[in-house]
Amino acid sequence: MAEIKQEPMSKKKLEYVRRERTKEMRQQVVSFGLMIFFTFIAFGMVAMDIDASFVIPVVIGLAFVQVILQFFYFMHMKDKGHEFAKLFMMTGMFFALSFIVTFIYIVWIGSPI
């Protein structure tokens, strides 16, 4: 079984790649930390029996921020050269949204339209 053959990188390039990777790593850890923190807040608010009319919008808001973080920092929405991945995610969101809207209108909200 042969080893993968690779061109050795120039020193400058190596440094650049290292720097980029560290940056990427830091961003991921930070957004991951934030997401865990948001989850704690959400659970905490429910556990503390705070008024539902306050909790529901706040939890939905936090969820929204989490989705954004997820898309941008973990699913490459922020990166260049991922046009196809972006197109796919946008299409997926569009489909999902239209399914949810129809479900709400013709399955769950009372009488048929």
DSSP for 16-43 reads HHHHHHHHHHHHHHHHHHHHHHHHHHHH
Contact code string over 4-23 relative to another protein, x by CB under 8 A: xx------------------
Can you tell me which of 98, 101, 104, 109 binds another protein, judged by CB under 8 A? Answer: 98
**CA-closest candidate to residue 31, choices 75, 94, 95:** 75
Closest CB to another protein among residues 6, 10:
6
Q: Which two tokens stand for residue 31?
A: 């957004």
- Residues with Cβ within 8 Å of 38's Cβ and at least 6 positions away in sequence, in order, are 62, 65, 66
Round to whole Å and give the CA distance between 11 and 79: 24
Minimum distance, C-beta of residue 70 to another protein, in the bound complex (Å): 17
Minimum distance, C-beta of residue 45 to another protein, in the bound complex (Å): 26
3 binds another protein (CB under 8 A): yes
Closest CB to another protein among residues 25, 87:
87
Site of interaction with another protein (CB under 8 A): 1-5, 84, 88, 91-92, 95, 98-99, 102-103, 105-107, 111-113
